Amino acid sequence: MTPRRGQPTVRIAAGQGFWGDWLEAPYRQVTGGPIDYLMMDYLAEVTMSILQKQKSRDPTLGYATDFLPLTERLLPLLVTRRIKVTANAGGVNPRACAAAVAETARRLGLAGKVRIGVVTGDDLLGRLDGLLARGHALTNLDTGRPLHEVRDRVLSANAYLGAWPVAAALRQHADVVITGRVTDTGLTLAPMIHAFGWGPDAWDLLAAGTVAGHTIECGAQCSGGNCLVDWETIPDLANVGYPLVEAHPDGTFELAKHPGTGGRITVAGVTEQLVYEMGDPTAYITPDCVADFTTIRLEQAGKDRVRVSGVRGRPATDKLKVSIAYFYGYKAVGTLVYAWPDAYRKAQAADRVLRQRLADLGLQFEAIVTEFVGADATHGPLARNSLALDELPEVQLRVGVRSPDKAAVERFTREIAPLILNGPPSVTGFAGGRPRPEEIVAYWPALIDKQVVEPCVEIVEV
């Protein structure tokens, strides 16, 4: 399946794996070697509700604001090097994001040199009551509950769009495509559809591009970051090279990174990323196709180079996933650190005292979760049973509460500090002060008929 000589290769570089990822990565991807596309994924499930809240306070906000200083730094380079961008930085306000990027471009003297593609149509919040009235129940995929039960608390509702509207924007010569809730994989698949002219029913090719998207959508997680296998020998993570897909028209592709960068690309490391957040591997469902991960073939094609081939796909379903966020209640987490001797037993005793006081106050919580960090917070009883608990140098007591009653959660936050002077001894680590109650915005996954969602593509000339 080696590509024939003379066939074009398209190089798609991952620049951000999530909103909050390494700010240097996109710059290094653009300057570290030749690329054709820079792909940036900003949106996690809960991000949309945060952005919706920002938009409700200021109608010019609601997108990933990190994208603007990045654009300012990169746009001149992107124009010179003819690199195109696909990014779901638009959040719940892609048009406002595009307007801000256009203004930046003009300020940089790039008027007439940048076309911005805007993909919308994913935002269903304003259409929700109409959809419910027309019989779209938007049932919770995990719990089976109908949406009307929490309708008055819904904060955002976005359908996941796929690669096609992004590819349409590229076809209209967009240099920077800014989208709302487009799938992570769609941002990588779209350049392939555009460059290779793949058809809407080329299921194996669409599945291959989807697998490519999955491997690089978490940035360095496929090039040595968060990689368990041989982790201590992975070189120079300080300069980790984010991954590139070198895609071919036949659906095969190689994973690589720029020369001179740190990290590592191996079959074992790429396999770790392939299984990340995996459900049924024979049915990886996206708006574009259903990819079968049990058909993927990996081979080491050189140092820091993995070839991917053999991917098979099936027709897309007639549904789109909808990501809905709704207000759930309040939570707070408090911590204290207990020191040797008997650190674990002191932390346990403090937890008992705290819980008794909460009960005596008559506070109602939906959940109280206690963890002993250093003993059992991550591996639970599996770790606790194999430790010399009496000899631990320190243990952090970490107690979290959740409740619809804000007053109860607030009172909890005032019950931690007193334990320093009126609870078990050898306690420290309260420098951060009283914990703050946080609003819980919960996630409600649902499906909707594809035909009721209409993606919209616009071009903004700078």
Cα 137 to Cα 425: distance, rounded to the nearest angstrom: 55
Cα 462 to Cα 443: distance, rounded to the nearest angstrom: 37
- Residue 20 in the binding site for other proteins (CB under 8 A): no
- Residue 387 in the binding site for other proteins (CB under 8 A): no
At closest approach, how far in Å is the CB of 272 from other proteins? 4
Residue of 68, 110, 202, 377 that binds other proteins (CB under 8 A): 377
Angle CA(364)–CA(370)–CA(373) in degrees, nearest 5?
155
Q: Structure tokens of 457?
A: 């593509």
The upper half-sphere exposure of residue 133, i.e. CA atoms within 13 Å in the direction of its Cβ, equals 4
Q: Structure tokens of 288?
A: 């574009």
140/317 with CB nearer other proteins: 140
Residue of 137, 237, 268, 387 that binds other proteins (CB under 8 A): 268
79/387 with CB nearer other proteins: 387
- Residue 272 in the binding site for other proteins (CB under 8 A): yes
165/329 with CB nearer other proteins: 329
Residue of 373, 417, 420, 452 that binds other proteins (CB under 8 A): 373
By CB under 8 A, the residues from 275 to 334 that bind other proteins are: 275-282, 293-298, 310, 328, 331, 333
Q: Tokens 């996941």 sit at which residue?
A: 160
- DSSP labels, 298-346: EEEEETTEEEEE--EEEPPPSEEEEEEEEEEEEEEEEEEEEESSSHHHH
Cα 74 to Cα 31: distance, rounded to the nearest angstrom: 10
93/323 with CB nearer other proteins: 323
One-letter amino acid identity for 161? L
- Residue 271 in the binding site for other proteins (CB under 8 A): yes
At closest approach, how far in Å is the CB of 221 from other proteins? 8
At closest approach, how far in Å is the CB of 245 from other proteins? 18
Q: How far is CA 353 from CA 249, 319, 419, in A?
A: 65, 51, 8
What backbone torsions phi and psi does residue 26 show, to the nearest 5 degrees?
-60, -40
Site string for other proteins, 22-61 (x = CB under 8 A): -----------------------xx---------------
118/306 with CB nearer other proteins: 306
At closest approach, how far in Å is the CB of 346 from other proteins? 19
- Residue 404 in the binding site for other proteins (CB under 8 A): no
Angle, helices 164-171/184-196, rounded to nearest 10 degrees? 40
Which residue, among 71, 78, 27, has the nearest Cα to 242 in the 3D structure? 27
191/313 with CB nearer other proteins: 313
State the virtual CA torsion across 386, 388, 393, 394 in degrees, nearest 10.
60
By CB under 8 A, the residues from 211 to 230 that bind other proteins are: 226, 228-229
Interface positions with other proteins (CB under 8 A): 45-46, 142, 226, 228-229, 268, 271-282, 293-298, 310, 328, 331, 333, 367-369, 371, 373, 377-383, 386, 398, 400-402, 440-443, 445
